[in-house]
Chain A
Amino acid sequence: MTLETVELLVNGDRYRVTIDPRRSLAEVLREDLRLTGTKVGCNHGDCGACTVLLEGRPVCSCLLLAVEADGRPVTTIEGLAATPKDLHPVQKSFAERGAVQCGFCTSGMILSSVHLLEQTPEPDDLTIRRGLSGNLCRCTGYTKIVDAVRTAAAMPRRAEDR
């Protein structure tokens, strides 16, 4: 088996890792970079728990081979807020609206929501539901999740969060 060395650009940090090319980005994020905020649910690209932003767009990191992310910027839940002490407005809104139950889907939900709000700053509920259709919550807390995204959309935001 051949190992490959790639450069991962995660949350603005540069990591050089030597990995088995069969490994997913989700595995490498969690096991090698210790960024365990990214969750693996179904490992089939259905549930969205593993969602990260690749070049600013949501992808299932369980389906993405880590080598495919070589040199391409990745944002995980750990990198969303401006500083480790802050919360991103969408994170804040999820906390305030009680949109977190077990928390397993939350990272992916928030990253999908951030992308949705970038695409559609003032979404109606149908647009929110469609934008999150690739993220499953098995606590069935969808109502509060939609509330949280609607609330985040109404929040004044700093330019760097958009």
Chain B
Amino acid sequence: MPSMTPFAHHRPATLDDALALMALHGPDARVIAGGTDLVPRLRSGAASAAHLVSVGRIAELSRIAFDPETGLVIGAGARLADVGRHPEVQSRYGALADALSVMATVQIRTMGTVAGNLANGSPCADTASPLLVHEARVELARQGSRREVALEAFFRGPREVDLDPAEVLVAIHVPTPAPGARSVYLRMSARSRVDMAAAGAAALLVLDSKGRVERARLALTAVAPTPLRCPDAEALLAGQEPTADRLAKAAAACAAAARPIDDVRATAVYRRHVVGVLARRALERCVAGAKGGAR
């Protein structure tokens, strides 16, 4: 165990108590939810904290709720496994359900949270691209105030997010998708499930009554310093017939937007290639789904 520096572990029962602890300890405190990322980082010395504030016991943060008017709310304590099997997530937020079924292991999905997956700021966070194409916003609270930030703006760099030391990411808000919207997430890794993604792509498409693209959203995993939205590729699709050629052009624009690196999981060259392939396949599946086939 203890190569980690000592810390005090707090288990507040309410969000107010958690925010008071964060206000008191500020930069010396870290929120712990599932701990599946933070604990190994504390052990290796990559992260340190004098105070851990556990949010796992705060009932109001564990909610997963859907309302057609306001959309989906995923509380900061909601476990990956529970979000993934929520019927509204499965029926309306396909890309997110895809990510939650392919990432990590049963054990890690039981422990980890969507909020933690985002707040870690990892470019390879599997839930990030699906939530980007669904235009999620994150709700951040500190003692006495709250704010909402578009997920796209929340990511600032590798392990850097728009979260102040005294703030807690309390919920993720995802709007209700347009009727007929389809979204898909695909990822690639050397060892499947257990390993983190070497590259991933999420796509969302809405087709109009003539079968043309009314709305397209594309986002990429693990090919840039942050999870990456691809507005150039989206623009190539808007208003167009989703022909094979058109989808391939958009996928090529995704590959061009990528800024990958070489690391232990893949080379930059491979990442750029495969992310284009994944984007094309994700788009093809969206089109097939929107035209009435299975997602």
Q: List chain A positions with a Cβ less than 8 A from chain B.
A: 1-2, 4, 20-24, 27, 44-46, 48, 51, 54, 57-60, 63-65, 67-68, 70, 112, 115-116, 131, 133-134
Whether B106 and A45, one on each chain, are in contact in the complex, defined by CB atoms closer than 8 angstroms, is: no
- B110-A48 in contact (CB<8A): no
Would you give the 0/1 interface string for B224-256, flagging 1 where the beta carbon is closer than 8 Å to chain A? 000000000000000000000000000000000
Checking B9, B40, B110 against A21 with a beta-carbon cut-off of 8 angstroms, the contacting residue is B9
Interface size range of chain B in the complex: 20 to 34
Most chain-B CB neighbours within 10 Å: which of A45, A54, A116?
A: A45
* CB pairs A–B below 8 angstroms (8 shown): A1-B6, A22-B2, A44-B40, A46-B194, A48-B105, A59-B111, A64-B35, A115-B106
Partner of B106 from the list A4, A67, A112 (CB cut-off 8 Å) is: A112
Partner of B40, one of A1, A58, A63, A131: A63
The answer, yes or no, to whether B36 is at the interface (CB within 8 Å) is yes
**Does residue B270 face the partner (Cβ distance < 8 Å to A)?**
no
**Within 8 Å CB of A112, what residues of B?**
106-107
Contact indicator B6/A2 (Cβ below 8 Å) = yes
Q: Is the interface of B mostly helix, strand, loop or mixed?
A: mixed
B7–A134 contact, CB under 8 A?
no
B107 touching A68 by the CB < 8 A rule? Answer: no
- B46: interface (CB < 8 Å): no
User: A21-B7, A57-B110 are known contacts. Are A68 and B56 too (CB-CB below 8 A)?
Assistant: yes
Q: Is B156 an interface residue (CB 8 A)?
A: no
Whether A65 lies near B108 (C-beta < 8 A) is no
Q: Are B1 and A22 closer than 8 Å at their CB atoms?
A: yes
- Name which of A2, A22, A64, A131 has the most chain B CB atoms within 10 A of its CB: A22
A20→B2 contact, CB < 8 A: yes
Given contact pairs A45-B40, A63-B111, A65-B32, enumerate 13 new A-B contacts (beta carbons under 8 Å).
Answer: A4-B9, A20-B6, A21-B52, A44-B40, A45-B108, A48-B107, A64-B35, A65-B52, A67-B9, A68-B11, A115-B106, A133-B106, A134-B107
Is there contact, CB below 8 Å, between A22 and B108?
A: no
Given the interface contacts A2-B6, A23-B1, does A60 sit within 8 Å of B108 by beta carbon?
A: yes
User: Is the CB–CB distance between A51 and B6 below 8 Å?
Assistant: no
Q: Which residues of A sit under 8 angstroms from B163, Cβ to Cβ? A: none
Supposing A2-B8, A45-B108, A58-B107 touch, asked if A20 and B35 sit within 8 A by C-beta, the answer is no
Chain B hits for A45, CB < 8 A: 36, 40, 105, 107-108
Indicate whether A64 sits within 8 Å of B1 (C-beta atoms), given known contacts A4-B9, A46-B194, A133-B106. no
CA of A19 to CA of B75, assembled, Å: 30
B54 on interface, CB distance cutoff 8 Å: yes
Nearest chain B CB to A34 CB, angstrom units? 17
Report the bound CA distance from A22 to B81 in whole Å. Answer: 26
Asked if B39 is an interface residue, CB under 8 A from chain A, the answer is yes
Q: How far is the CA of A68 from the CA of B39 in the complex (A)?
A: 12
